[in-house]
Structure 1
């Protein structure tokens, strides 16, 4: 029986990228890096899947072997701004040996370092109307848990324990908003070392918290 029928000569396996940059990244990571750049410079709505694929050095058809589409890329980028901080926050919350004030400061510092470490301001993606869609429920759940960890750590400090419930919620909102907003300040002063900036931001956050 011959093998020249329709589809029988097709090669099966992982598609090869075309004109891939010499970055050393895996194809999916290359797509995420391209999406981060384009979503934050051109805008999410204005960026096509073709543009992301071309920026990553592959054909648009090949892109779908690694991701389902733009929403898949956006969701992973958003989650990448929270997931490491959340994992660390869980560790800090479970560490009863260290003072709560120190643990809260350390969470603020680490969170700022994560948000400011990358080459692109992914924080602007939080404001996209598309992020309200059900596809991003995982991101919202992680972000909510991270914020709750901030609240629980603040509540166990000496100052936090004396606050009424409404005031505690307000202080948590202010601290969490400050930490997520500092990336805009850092972008205006990119020469300042991230570690120094993160420590100063953590100091300011604890003052806002009243600790």
Structure 2
């Protein structure tokens, strides 16, 4: 009795090897540089706006301070008037709110002039060509990064490098989502706080 063997092995069934596309890598680097340039322009505009608001608030605070002194002088020279006392009290409360606003604007100015610039520098130093960002959000100290990666392992390695930078040292990221659409690289969203999560 003769036995016949049939070889079903075919090299065409093996998965094709993916090679690094130099064009895609170049486009990724150009995209990162473009994002950094746009971020720098946005930072400059925001810093200018904060400075204008700060100067306006300071001028208003000085004016209110002078008005308060005038009213207090009137109180010292005349008998206490209920309406005048109420006006002074209201002005004092309003002046306290203005001073609080000045303090908040000062904090925003310091963050805009130093924090964003340092963040952009640290993001550039952590880049290795395997992850590129399309969107960066900073709100009340919380961060949100949206972009693409060449492989699922690229994002955790990138996050680990970010944790060793000066700006993001010790920063904890609470959520990370990944998704891949047809014909697109692997997309991801990384957030550090309560910023609203969206599907990449």
Please indicate the TM-score interval, normalised by the length of the shorter structure. Answer: under 0.3
Select the structure that is richer in helix. Answer: 1
TM-score when normalising by structure 1: 0.25
Structure number with the bigger relative contact order (C-alpha 8 A, sep ≥ 6) is 1
TM-score when normalising by structure 2: 0.26
